[in-house]
Amino acid sequence: MDKQIKKVDIIFQMDEDCNLLDILDKALAQPADDIILDLIDSGLKGRGGAGFLTGLKWKFTKNEDSDVKYVICNADEGEPGTFKDREILDKVPEKVFIGMAICGYVVGAKEGYIYIRGEYNFLVKGLQKKLDNFNKHLKDRNLDFQIAIRSGSGAYVCGEESALFESMEGYRGEPRNKPPYPTVAGYNKKPTVINNVETLVYVTMISRLGVQKFKELGTKDSRGSKVFSVSGDTPIPGIYELELGMPLNQFVDEFADGDAKAVQVGGASGHCVPRKKFNDTIIGFEGIPTGGSMMIFNSTRSMYNVLHDYLEFFTEESCGQCTPCRVGCQQLLKGIEAVKRGEKPPSYLDDLKKLTTTMRIAAKCGLGQSVGNPFNSIVDNFREEIIY
Amino acid sequence: MSKTDQLVQKLVRKHGKTRNSLMAVLQGVVQEERYLSEDAMIAVARELDLSAADVYGTASFYTFLDTIPRGKNIIRICKTITCHMKGKDEVLLALENMLKIKAGETTHDKMFTLLTVNCLGWCHKGPVMLVNDEVYTELTPQKAIEVIEEYSRK
Ligand SMILES: Cc1cc2nc3c(=O)[nH]c(=O)nc-3n(C[C@H](O)[C@H](O)[C@H](O)COP(=O)(O)O)c2cc1C
Ligand code: SF4
């Protein structure tokens, strides 16, 4: 083995000699444009899944001419197999607040919101207390920016940014057409930066440690580290911060139980990688990107059950607004059931694969567009398990 | 004025009389009454100047904003694959036998509603369930029964 997997301690790191508010003060003393340049230079990409350059997103929002702008922290965390944002908000919430405040200062927003999923209601009371305290610190600094909490009510699709805005505005969580993008018309149709919880903490820590320290980690296309949620057939399930760009086989050596037959990278909407491809799969934006969910399956598991579970999930969570996704999810689920029962020939799986292509092109949002990821990667690599 | 009307008025005063408060107001009603009755939705519509259909339209989108009566305690068991692999079926069966209801149903005394839900975000500590807002991880059938016994005594 050429290289050991690199464990990193940035997100949860609590160094004694650094008052967290010093990080904020340091940032507020810098011109906004310098902070944007630093972020772009750092190569930080969003940790919520889509992987857009954070610095660029902020720049677009800053350049919009509007009196009202918003900063939103996306803590909806509904992707099956992801549980890191909860841990971050529980352990280091101030680092999230600081990232939001820096963003507010940079883009010229006065209001920030944390949209947290209803499943994490038990966190809200404690979080609100810390937030009240933090908002006071912002007032003391004469920074015209305050943060509030908004809760979700059990809908995976509300993690999609435009559905999240709809929900905050009191509507059904149905994704909007894009463009316009949130940087132009987000919450209340005003320019909005929406970032994942983890992305905001990296902003804080890049400000603290400097761009160089961050760039030393990862690869050209995937700078820095990332928090991974590891579950399934592993003796050590949990939350780990690892360097991006690692080969999957190293990950499996470190975390699996010695009998891994597949890893689902990126949750239900991600890709399934079979054992024979562990060696040449890179975890990062140049290979398979992930919001952090890593589910390990060993040889005792039925991949039919895994796919069936994911398709049930999408069928239930599809907002139903567009036909390719609403009907497509149902047909994929019914289709594999029919093949399993022998009511349809195995070649029917190829028709279903064509359906996922239609969904990728015609569905309105990332939910419907990405159902083909798990479907095709599981059907292609475990065809026998689906049929027999 | 009914108790529900008073509750809705209090919530609207707290969150503001705008459409953007709708989710918070509905969540507040569910927190107190466990579900949104027709009366509650009509009261919300009146206070926020919306049509009742519009309020129902929003509410019916969200799993946690129930529009049918629920028990005093709502049990939500995670059914997603990793919790499934760690034995969620046994936990569910144990609670079904204990409460003498199936998933999706409410006990006759209206003390418990038993539901299965999608990923709750504790895959490293499955099987897991929420009872109202409280989370219980690394369940065994025995442990789950003990937790629910605790609630029936409250
Ligand atoms: C169906 C769906 C669900 C999503 N859920 C989340 C989520 O729970 N958390 C999140 O940060 N991003 C989620 N996203 C991505 C967001 O739309 C958005 O890209 C992200 O919050 C941007 O933040 P980032 O640039 O920091 O990653 C989801 C996207 C889709 C299509
Ligand atoms: S793709 Fe699915 S979830 Fe997205 S807008 Fe269409 S129906 Fe709704």
pLDDT bin (cut points 50, 70, 90) of residue A3 is: low
Q: Are residues A111 and A197 in the same domain?
A: yes
Q: Are residues A97 and A150 in the same domain?
A: yes
CA angle B48/B54/B59 to nearest 5° reads 95
Residue A374 has a pLDDT of 98
- DSSP H helices, A116-196, are 121-140, 161-168
Q: Which residues contact B40 (CB under 8 A, 6 or more apart)?
A: B4, B7, B8, B29, B33
Residue A50 has a pLDDT of 84
The rounded percent of chain A whose pLDDT value lies above 90 is 95
CATH code where residue B78 lies: 3.40.30.10
Query: For the segment A13-61, what is each residue's pLDDT rounded down to a tens digit?
Result: 887 667 899 999 999 999 999 999 999 999 999 999 889 999 999 999 9
Q: Is the pLDDT of residue A119 over 50?
A: yes
Average of per-residue pLDDT across A203-217: 95
Q: Which residue on chain B is closest to A122 by alpha carbon?
A: B133
A123 CA to centre of ligand 2 in angstroms: 29
Q: Are residues A78 and A200 in the same domain?
A: yes
**A-chain residues near B24 (CB < 8 A):** 150-151
What are the E-state strand segments in A179-334?
Answer: 192-196, 225-232, 238-243, 246-247, 260-265, 271-274, 282-283, 293-298
Out of A159, A181, A210, a domain closes at A210
From the CB of A364, is ligand 2 less than 6 Å away?
yes
Residue B79 counted as domain residue:
yes
A157 CA to centre of ligand 1 in angstroms: 9
Q: What is the CA radius of gyration of chain A?
A: 21
Nearest CA to ligand 1 atom 13: A159
Q: Are residues A240 and A321 in the same domain?
A: no
Cα dihedral A15, A18, A24, A30 sign:
negative
pTM beyond 0.95, yes or no: yes
pLDDT bin (cut points 50, 70, 90) of residue A203 is: very high
Q: Testing the interface with B: which of A121, A123, A124, A153 to mutate, by most B Cβ within 10 A?
A: A153
Total count of domains within chain A:
3
Query: For the segment A172-200, what is each residue's pLDDT rounded down to a tens digit?
Result: 999 999 999 999 999 999 999 999 999 99
Q: Which residue on chain B is closest to A237 by alpha carbon?
A: B124
Residue A75 counted as domain residue:
yes
Residue A12 counted as domain residue:
no
CATH code where residue A258 lies: 3.10.20.600
Residue A15 counted as domain residue:
no
Q: Among residues 66-105 of chain B, which lie with CB inside 8 Å of chain A?
A: 80-82, 84-85
Total count of domains within chain B:
2
Residue A2 has a pLDDT of 46
Q: Are residues A73 and A111 in the same domain?
A: yes
Query: For the segment B54-90, what is each residue's pLDDT rounded down to a tens digit?
Result: 999 999 999 999 999 999 999 999 999 999 999 999 9
Percent helix, strand and coil across chain B, each rounded to 5?
Answer: 50, 10, 35
Domain span including residue A315: 303-387
Average of per-residue pLDDT across A291-313: 97
Residue A267 has a pLDDT of 96
Domain span including residue B25: 3-61
Q: Are residues A206 and A276 in the same domain?
A: no
CATH code where residue A182 lies: 3.40.50.11540
From the CB of A320, is ligand 2 less than 6 Å away?
yes
Ligand closest to A372 (CA) is 2
Q: Which residue on chain B is closest to A169 by alpha carbon?
A: B20
Q: How far is B48 from chain A (nearest CA, A)?
A: 11
By Cβ distance, the residue of B18, B24, B121 closest to A83 is: B121
Residue A1 has a pLDDT of 42
Please state, rounded to an integer, the average pLDDT across all residues of chain B: 97
Residue B68 counted as domain residue:
no
Residue B66 counted as domain residue:
no
Residue B67 counted as domain residue:
no
What is the ipTM for the molecules in this complex?
Answer: 0.96
Q: Are residues A307 and A270 in the same domain?
A: no
Q: Are residues A235 and A358 in the same domain?
A: no
Q: Are residues B41 and B79 in the same domain?
A: no
Ligand closest to A116 (CA) is 1
Q: Are residues A150 and A231 in the same domain?
A: no
pLDDT bin (cut points 50, 70, 90) of residue B47 is: very high
Q: Are residues B79 and B139 in the same domain?
A: yes
Residue A356 has a pLDDT of 98
- Whole-angstrom CA distances from A38 to A32, A53, A208, A215 are 10, 12, 12, 11
What are the E-state strand segments in A52-128?
Answer: 70-75, 111-116
Contact in structure between B119 and B107 (CB atoms under 8 Å): no
Out of A281, A298, A315, a domain closes at A298
Q: Are residues A29 and A154 in the same domain?
A: yes
Query: For the segment A268-289, what is each residue's pLDDT rounded down to a tens digit?
Result: 999 999 999 999 999 999 999 8
Residue A117 counted as domain residue:
yes
Residue B30 has a pLDDT of 97
Range with the poorest average pLDDT among A49-53, A206-210, B108-112: A49-53
